[in-house]
Structure 1
Amino acid sequence: MCHKSLFLVALLIVSGYAASDEDYEFVCPKDDGEYEDPFQCDKYYVCDEGRVKQKLCPDGLVFNPHSKLVNKCDQIFNVDCKDRKELQKPKPIGACPRRNGFFPHYDPSICNVFFNCIDGRELEMNCVAGLHFNEKTGTCAWPDTAGRENCGSNANKKLLDGFQCPEKFEKMDKTGQIIVHPNYPHPEDCTKFYICLNGVEPRLGVCGEGLVYNEDTQRCDTAENSPGCEDWFSQDGKPEN
């Protein structure tokens, strides 16, 4: 090796140069198999008879080298990426910051609602009473375990029609248990009702076609079973347009 080459090698060592993802060229350790990229957690390599092909997991999923499944792309909370810190550029759509995964509600004050995103299609899900969505595990947990902040900070928020969740009011069911997400009837329209998430965050609910809100059962029901709304769909019961 010439003196110039030795000087360059020494300079790289002194400067702390380390190989980057762009410099990396994967070599199959075995002729067949799937192997993780050392830099990027959602990138992996497929070796087929010694020929290597680079692949990416769907946006939001990462490669799990320990998975026994044929498809080794997994939820990020199931995988310890360690030094594989890099991820592909997000492809957000709707309420999904990435195309796949479990994500908290876009309103940080709503901690009991989260989204399950599958190929960019969002499914809104609710934790059972008293639990919050835990971003680290993708599951519902007790508030002290989930460690979410500012939950319910939108207390006393009003809807456009002026509805506001009652302040410091605990609604009970027929067994005497506190209703965590109580419902309230709309004052003018039997087909509508209000939902107070965690008792403080108001939402407008609408019953399906042919149904009205039944205050006694706290759900949508037929008109004949709903006191005060029995004649809603009769000519006299319909609201004027």
Structure 2
Amino acid sequence: MKSTVIFVVFCLLSSTYAQVFKCPPKDGQYEDPDQCDKFYECRDGEPIQKLCPDGLVFDPTIRKINKCDQPFNVDCGNRVNLQPPKPKGNCPRRNGFFAHPDPSICNIFYNCIEGEYTEIKCTAGLHFDEFSGTCVWPEAAQREGCKAKENKLDDGFVCPQESHTDQNGQVNIHPKFPNPNDCQKFYVCLNGVEPRDLGCTVGEVYNEVLQKCDAPENVPGCEDWYKDEPAPQPGKKN
């Protein structure tokens, strides 16, 4: 009997609150003036109060039936209130894109769908930005507490800070550099900031001018790089 009374009171309160909202003449879905994830579905002038899934907010400008979207896609204006969060695991809310809980880890974030998350890692050199839901350059994200990663290889190589262009004068996003101590090896700087140590196949050396692996005779100073190597035998792999 007690639970029945509570349920009836809850229904009456919800109905009373919904009746405060006045439906426009045209049926449709309309935003709540105070809460960004609350909206009303008006049918024949009667409002039915509804909530977006936890983590999403209502966008009245969407022309689809489902008008709930990610917060970074919606201008809530003065609709600053939200429903209480329903956290689960690494998801502060059931839906959305969220930064790693460790504030010092800025290149990993979570995509949450109904409380189930997928861990995603940003491209080398980028940080996750919750305001845009994407990975951006650290200076754009301006995340506090991020660890300054030392982008240095074991041999001491670090990516030069200045930008580099290719033979056509275009900025090279992932520039390459020769290894001064090994003609076969070279470095590539992902997004210009994160170094990787790579190498050409046996029999080739890195050509700095062409920015690719080439025959030794085409690279001054590396012509005799393989002169002491045994000749490959037919049918055998090196």
- Partners in 2 of 1:61 and 1:138 — Cα distance? 13
Check conservation: 2:23, 2:42, Cα contact below 8 A. Answer: yes
1:169–1:69: structure 2 CA closer, same or farther, 3 Å change rule?
farther
- Matched with 1:159 is none
Check conservation: 1:133, 1:139, Cα contact below 8 A. Answer: yes
- Matched with 2:135 is 140
TM superposition shift of 1:47: 0.6
Tell me which stretches of 4 or more aligned residues in structure 1 moved more than 3 Å.
165-175, 178-183
- Matched with 1:99 is 94
Gaps of 5+ in 2: 1-16, 160-175, 177-184, 198-238
1:181–1:101: structure 2 CA closer, same or farther, 3 Å change rule?
farther
1:105–1:182: structure 2 CA closer, same or farther, 3 Å change rule?
farther
- Matched with 1:43 is 38
Check conservation: 1:104, 1:114, Cα contact below 8 A. Answer: yes
User: What is the letter of the counterpart of residue 77 of structure 2?
Assistant: K
- Partners in 2 of 1:50 and 1:72 — Cα distance? 20
Percentage of matched positions with identical amino acids: 54
- Matched with 1:176 is 187
TM superposition shift of 1:68: 1.7
- Matched with 1:152 is 147
- Partners in 2 of 1:82 and 1:181 — Cα distance? 43
User: What is the letter of the counterpart of residue 64 of structure 2?
Assistant: L
Check conservation: 2:29, 2:40, Cα contact below 8 A. Answer: yes
TM-score, normalisation: structure 1 = 0.57
TM-score, normalisation: structure 2 = 0.58
Over aligned residues, Cα RMSD in angstroms? 3.0
Larger radius of gyration: 2
TM superposition shift of 1:31: 3.9
Gaps of 5+ in 1: 1-21, 157-164, 184-241
Query: What is the 5 A alignment of 1:1-241?
Result: 25-152=20-147, 175-178=186-189, 180=194
Query: May I ask how many residue pairs the two structures share in their alignment?
Result: 154
